[in-house]
Structure 1
């Protein structure tokens, strides 16, 4: 039986990886702080990775596969130090945010990365992941896979980014929806279950190297059009240009009072990363419409009008639409 250790295993992505390994017949242990249950069929070991003794219980065993998704470079360095000698293979889940530039379409894994985060530097997600990658590569290079996902989407997404659009079109029903200028904008998404399946695959095969785990590039207007169709939206859309949205304090990409997935101009490389290695390794991508349908079901269950981590509230959106239309004649 394959012995798998998931550093995490109770969160969104790590939980799906744990479930898939268990479904494949592996003996799965999840090391997490507790407070949330481990997936059915797995074993939870409680440990806080800020504690020097966090790995004590799992460091006395041999592991066929270790999976880590942490963005804390100190945690990652501590894990490879404590467990690296006990692991036949290690999969580290990084991010395409480690790349230094976003202006070259089709860039692959050889593109320059940012400098790792220093101990005295301001927090930076991409640089933190770069630092974690460096620890994994230095200690486990010939036994490690470094997987760099792009935008992870699908049911359970805690960031509320991708689901905003299909959820908003459903909530609006026959009403108007505010959209950004989609000219030369796009998205590159991967369904959480497609990513989890890939992570299990590289661990099972003990593949080593670096792979972008990203979907095929899709123009943003197609994403919005298919989201509206899946949601059954019958109203109109109203487009605002970048300058107008910026003036009205609407943010790019994610977070409160944003239009999710909308990127500043001049970033074609951000949504056109090469996924050739992913494809060659057998990575599978379900149709966008299927992911949208899965996401809509999840959005309805969680509440279309709930408070979101990303996007506009419907009240904010309607106010902006009134401003965009201007005073009545």
Structure 2
């Protein structure tokens, strides 16, 4: 299985110290090894990272050639930029705080470590990092969706790491759940490119339909399963292609069908390949350009596949997610023929 390594990191700041509480903006976590650890970076501040332990498979396989990322057809919805998940045991937490003292510019490492000790060691609200509860639960921490590290919302999981007893569900909307796993899997769906086949190839001709189609081998259902090892918790998100939308890149064109939405055929193909003798026929999927392109420009023909998205989980929960879209653009040159014998 592939292990993703999203992380929350930041430099030590006066704001953190003055707050008097740990903040996952200066994140504590087990690091890439899952055994605790800290790092330094070019900013000159020691850092401790919390990384997601969520793993994904694609159609049951551990790797795939990911050619594109789906965009939600609902502009008001995106997969989560961060969430909370079981990050480390009491021993791992204590070791991570101790590692802060190994990198101590201007005494900041000790200062921050002392702050964490006051919170997790001295009974405010924890005592001795909950070492007496080792094996009875985990500290949960915020982690970043590795596909959305640049999203402003990636810093919103800013609660200090908090204790959750084994088998309990934290009262936190962004706590890892089957739905969040499904939404993360949405981000991991590998969709094929949408470079279309067209006839005539190369240059199209004014008032002569251009046939458009896509190979059936490319467009099949694809599923991604996201799981949290050791918990039995997983969710599977499935994408199924449902239509191709053609945007000719100019208002001086007619599309077939008129909506520009070409259906998916029963065999998974889209449209119909052009064959000799069909030049006077109307293509099931295509475009008729009404004006030639300028000598120095081309029309940007865009082909966008819409995918229907649904999910299931090991808990029995499941639902639909917003449709996803993925498209590509290619240049089309259109030539003028003064007299066309049809």
Higher helix share: 1
TM bucket normalised to smaller: under 0.3
TM-score by length of 2: 0.25
Higher strand share: 2
TM-score by length of 1: 0.26
